[in-house]
Amino acid sequence: MAGSPPEGRPAGRLRRGLPALGVFVLFLAGWEGIVRLLHIQFYLLPAPSEIVANLLGHASFLLGAAWYTAQEAFIGFALGCALGILVAVVSVRWRAVADTLLPYSIAANSIPIIAFAPLAIVWFGVEQGSKIAIVAMMAFFPTMVSTIRGLLSPDPASLELMRSYGATPRQIFLKLRAPAALPFVFTAFKVAASISMIGAVVGEFFGGVEHSLGVYIISQASLFHTREAWAAIILACAFGIAFYLVIVGVERLVMPWHVTLRR
């Protein structure tokens, strides 16, 4: 189409984002309008304006609590992903390890890890340690399974090409398997980033320090201080989304060649 900016350019991306933004604004306006028109009690559903006012009123406490919780999410994410990649690399190098571990890993992946939260507190303490452990476990499995799939993704011809060069296993790993695995690894990172903030907040529901988002949400909600709880929830969402977007940004930097990023 003549004159329209190509997709992917900032202007094109903005234009594509407009409908979503419009829906968001309409949703907020509708929410605000219904709460006001129907005189809904604030403890049932506070209006967005009230939530925002509350958020701004408690900004310094809330940001501090969110940062505390986000630290658990980041560190747990980093540990879980690093461990997942490590185990994947070892499994692919020694196939016997993969054959032994993979069935258990896939089975373990379906365990609701959050159920271990009370035990994690027993093992790692009521402070950040237990939440980091939960987030790390949640991030570990998708990262490991995806990385293994990625490392095994090169087709036979790509491997034969390396063989025809007399490449060493190390060269095959560094120049073929690792770059081929990157898209899989980043897909896993995006999944793990999204669940790590959730894991940290929910982990705190089972016990934590007062200046953390999870404990704050639980305690405020139990007092019917719903505006406070909503403000904290929105901040948790914002941090989760920001984390996800950071991963997307890194992905674009690291692999501009990938099919999903092509213009």
Partner 1 sequence: MSMPPRAMIAVDHVSQWFGDGAGRTTALQDVTMVIAPGEFVSLIGPSGCGKSTLLRIIGDLIAPTEGRVRVNGKSPREARLARDYGIVFQSPVLYDWRTVLRNVELPLEVMGFPRQEWAERAERMLALVGLEQFRAHYPWQLSGGMQQRVSIARALAFSPPILLMDEPFGALDELTRERMNQELLTIWAQTHNTVVFVTHSIAEAVFLSNRVVVLSPRPGRIEKIVEVALPHPRGSATRQDPRFFELVTRVRAALRVE
Q: Applying CB under 8 A, which residues contact partner 1?
A: 157-158, 160-167, 171, 175-176, 179-180, 182, 255, 257-259, 262
Min dist CB 146 to partner 1, Å, is 17
Min dist CB 73 to partner 1, Å, is 29
3 or 156: whose CB is closer to partner 1? 156
Min dist CB 163 to partner 1, Å, is 7
176 or 200: whose CB is closer to partner 1? 176
**With helix as H, strand as E and coil as C, how does the chain read?**
CCCCCCCCCHHHHHHHHHHHHHHHHHHHHHHHHHHHHCCCCCCCCCCHHHHHHHHHHCHHHHHHHHHHHHHHHHHHHHHHHHHHHHHHHHHHHCHHHHHHHHHHHHHHHCCCHHHHHHHHHHHHCCCHHHHHHHHHHHHHHHHHHHHHHHHCCCCHHHHHHHHHCCCCHHHHHHHHHHHHHHHHHHHHHHHHHHHHHHHHHHHHHCCCCCCCHHHHHHHHHHCCCHHHHHHHHHHHHHHHHHHHHHHHHHHHHHCCCCHHHCC
133 or 176: whose CB is closer to partner 1? 176
Min dist CB 186 to partner 1, Å, is 12
120 or 172: whose CB is closer to partner 1? 172
| 23: its two tokens | 């829906």
95 or 163: whose CB is closer to partner 1? 163
Min dist CB 172 to partner 1, Å, is 9
16 or 258: whose CB is closer to partner 1? 258
> Comparing C-alpha atoms, which of 42, 69, 67, 36 is closest to residue 54?
42
Min dist CB 261 to partner 1, Å, is 11
